[in-house]
Structure 1
Amino acid sequence: MELLRLGPIGHEIPVVRDNDVYYDLRPLTTDITPEFFADDGIGRVRTALDEGSLVPLEGAEDLRIGAPVARPSAVVCVGMNYAAHAREAGAEPPAAPVVFFKMPSTIAGPYDALELPPYATKADWEVELGLVIGSRAFRVASAEDAYSHVAGYMLANDLSERRFQIEESGGQWSKGKNLPGFTPLGPWIRPAAEVDPGSLRLRSWVNGDVRQDSSTRDLIFDVGQIIYLLSQTMPFEPGDVILTGTPQGVAMSGKFPYLAADDVVEMEIESLGRHRQAVTVTQ
């Protein structure tokens, strides 16, 4: 079962794909929003599928694929969460999660073009496992309990402009993380019950050449630890998005050039789909 939002920007239709059939979710919800998750949206969709009460969406395959979650109240990100990535950045693996924030307005669809302003000279890719919170999580009792607050998982690209993030940041990573379109998500959300987040292969390519190839087995802080530790000081609400970090193989390593006009970035996580962003530079 895969939750998607299909259609033009600002007019996406909530959809579930099950056994390769796209079903219209508008009889259940106007969109896949925080309210959808707070009201056990995934459970209601599963019940409707089992009852056979949903109608297929005609022409679904021809529609644009948008980000699979609309209007989260927060996008919380964890940095330096793979040991090899920390080393390639010249840092020691952190003793506690490194946290930064992205504005929800940065969210884009998995195949939308990436339009860089001309001053974004150090734009970088980051394949990441993303998750959506399904129920309020504050002061969670343990890392094991934290998993019960996850609605589902998705593929994310935590795009970064390293000059703003590192060189002109004022000590705040978020400055280099919030250009328009810098958080492509999707193509779908897969329910948490159908995913083992501790053993997923992550890969990225630029112009067809492999850049990243790793596994969530190498996470320093796994999903449960991230939610448990961060929830001690911040409440997560239904629909909030958490990005869990990227493995080694980014341009910041010095091994690869930063993104430029006409580059194509692709990434994939097994069972969570694939992205493709074509890069343009605006004037």
Structure 2
Amino acid sequence: MTTPPPAPFALARYREGDSVRLGLVAGDRIRPLGEAELGAANINDFLADPDWSRLQTEAEETDAAWRPLNEVTLTAPVEPRQVLQAGANYRTHVVQLIMAGLTKGGESDLSPDEVRAKAEKIMDARAASGRPFIFLGLAQCVVGDDVPLELPAYSDTHDWELELAVVIGREAFRVSPERALDHVAGYTIVNDITTRDRVFPPDVGDIGADWFRSKNAPGFLPTGPYLVPAPFVDPGDLSVRLELNGEVMQDATTAELVFDVPTLISAASQTLPLLPGDLLLTGSPAGNGQHWKRFLRDGDVMTGTIRGLGTQVVRCVTAPRHGADAPTREPVS
């Protein structure tokens, strides 16, 4: 059953035959939004200068265009041209990672309390630097939760990372933190899937992380189901909760962000313009599979909820082996 967002209205995209239509969600109903109703040629043109009062009027209409929300199949509510991702941005999560690194192989001479204190000190220095860690994802990985998540056969370490995602409105280029929220159209949910054993592959030595291969398999950015307008969302204190087969794995709030939404937008915009409809992922809290030592498997169901933004349900299936993923035959002796 599709759960509607609590906001007075939200945007969604839904399947109609072989095409995808933009829709307006109000309560448990949805209606199509064409160019006439939207006042723009497409969703990104609308987000460049969103007229929410116009959509409020549409949400109050009582004509026959409405359909029950449960009668349609929702897909990703956005069509970004760019996806920017903030890494290591929840304090508890990063402290756990640092502590694991400090005690790797049982080699640390420090007590558990000393290890935690050292990790906390590293995080304090990171927060004081004022410099978020941001990298790029691929927009073609953005899908709705109507698409099963295919787990590539080349690894058994595919992991979840539920995140609050900012949807850019008016183009943002070299904006200050104080003006950053003026460039936000709304918010949505993204589960940033990561193949852990490809983040730091052993064959590249100290060159660095391989974000391309570890995060950009098809469907690795399940998004939505709704785009909730910015006026209805306070990004500073939203609960972020992921359940795996009904068991809680991540449970935090965005109040734990090391760098808040305005800081992230400002930092990202210093390098390149953020365009209408682009996604900026804000980082994932503690509790991913690497922490639990349990990665995604065929048949798993991830239920991700962010307060005010709805719930996405992602079903995992094992992708067929082919090409370079297929097992190789040992030579005959």
TM-score (norm 1): 0.91
Q: Shift of the alpha carbon at 1:176?
A: 0.7
- The whole-number CA distance in structure 1 between the counterparts of 2:158 and 2:285 is 17
Query: 1:87: which partner in 2?
Result: 95
Q: Is 1:173 the counterpart of 2:181 in the alignment?
A: no
Task: Give the length in aligned residue pairs.
Answer: 279
Runs of 4+ that moved beyond 4 A: 29-32
- The whole-number CA distance in structure 2 between the counterparts of 1:260 and 1:55 is 43
Q: Which amino acid aligns with 2:310?
A: G
Q: Which amino acid aligns with 1:208?
A: G
| Deviation per residue, 1:101-150 (Å, 9 max, x gap) | 1111101112421111211321000110001100011111x312101100
Q: Which amino acid aligns with 1:88?
A: Q
| C-alpha contact (below 8 Å) 2:48/2:170 kept by paired residues | yes
Q: Is 1:137 the counterpart of 2:172 in the alignment?
A: yes
State which of 21, 43, 46 in structure 2 corresponds to 1:33.
43
Query: 1:275: which partner in 2?
Result: 312
- The percentage of aligned residue pairs carrying the same residue is 34
| Deviation per residue, 1:161-191 (Å, 9 max, x gap) | 1111223575232321101111011110111
Kindly tell me: are residues 32 and 66 of structure 1, through their superposed partners in 2, closer, same or farther at Cα, counting changes over 3 Å? Answer: farther
Q: Is 1:240 the counterpart of 2:278 in the alignment?
A: yes
- The whole-number CA distance in structure 1 between the counterparts of 2:49 and 2:145 is 26
Q: Shift of the alpha carbon at 1:264?
A: 1.3
- The whole-number CA distance in structure 1 between the counterparts of 2:218 and 2:196 is 15
- The whole-number CA distance in structure 2 between the counterparts of 1:59 and 1:21 is 5
Q: Is 1:113 the counterpart of 2:148 in the alignment?
A: yes
- The whole-number CA distance in structure 2 between the counterparts of 1:31 and 1:256 is 47
Q: Which aligned pairs between 1:13-52 and structure 2 lie closer than 5 A?
A: 13-26=21-34, 27-29=36-38, 33-40=43-50, 42-49=52-59, 52=61
Q: Shift of the alpha carbon at 1:58?
A: 3.3
- The whole-number CA distance in structure 2 between the counterparts of 1:241 and 1:41 is 20
Q: Shift of the alpha carbon at 1:195?
A: 0.4
Question: Could you tell which deviates more after superposition, 191-200 or 1-10?
Answer: 1-10
- The whole-number CA distance in structure 2 between the counterparts of 1:60 and 1:223 is 30
SS in 1 for 2:217: coil
* CA RMSD, 1 decimal: 2.2
Larger Rg: 2
Kindly tell me: are residues 160 and 220 of structure 1, through their superposed partners in 2, closer, same or farther at Cα, counting changes over 3 Å? Answer: same
Q: Shift of the alpha carbon at 1:45?
A: 2.2
SS in 2 for 1:99: strand
Q: Shift of the alpha carbon at 1:54?
A: 6.9
Q: Shift of the alpha carbon at 1:35?
A: 2.0
Q: Shift of the alpha carbon at 1:266?
A: 1.4
Query: 2:135: which partner in 1?
Result: 100
| Deviation per residue, 1:16-57 (Å, 9 max, x gap) | 11233312112435885322312425454234445x387534
- The whole-number CA distance in structure 2 between the counterparts of 1:107 and 1:246 is 17
Q: Shift of the alpha carbon at 1:85?
A: 1.0
| C-alpha contact (below 8 Å) 2:28/2:69 kept by paired residues | no
Kindly tell me: are residues 48 and 59 of structure 1, through their superposed partners in 2, closer, same or farther at Cα, counting changes over 3 Å? Answer: closer
Q: Which amino acid aligns with 2:139?
A: P
SS in 2 for 1:225: helix
Query: 2:14: which partner in 1?
Result: 6
State which of 56, 63, 73 in structure 1 corresponds to 2:65.
56
- The whole-number CA distance in structure 2 between the counterparts of 1:192 and 1:54 is 27
- The whole-number CA distance in structure 1 between the counterparts of 2:198 and 2:18 is 29
Q: Which aligned pairs between 1:199-238 and structure 2 lie closer than 5 A?
A: 199-238=237-276
- The whole-number CA distance in structure 1 between the counterparts of 2:21 and 2:41 is 7
Q: Which runs of 5+ in 1 are unaligned?
A: none
Q: Is 1:251 the counterpart of 2:259 in the alignment?
A: no
| C-alpha contact (below 8 Å) 1:23/1:54 kept by paired residues | no
SS in 1 for 2:213: helix
Kindly tell me: are residues 42 and 106 of structure 1, through their superposed partners in 2, closer, same or farther at Cα, counting changes over 3 Å? Answer: farther
Question: Could you tell which deviates more after superposition, 237-246 or 116-125?
Answer: 116-125
Kindly tell me: are residues 31 and 267 of structure 1, through their superposed partners in 2, closer, same or farther at Cα, counting changes over 3 Å? Answer: farther
Question: Could you tell which deviates more after superposition, 32-41 or 170-179?
Answer: 32-41
| Deviation per residue, 1:67-97 (Å, 9 max, x gap) | 0012x11000000000111122227434421
| Deviation per residue, 1:199-255 (Å, 9 max, x gap) | 1000111111110000000000110111112212221111111100000001122x2
- The whole-number CA distance in structure 1 between the counterparts of 2:251 and 2:240 is 6
- The whole-number CA distance in structure 2 between the counterparts of 1:250 and 1:125 is 6
- The whole-number CA distance in structure 1 between the counterparts of 2:37 and 2:81 is 22
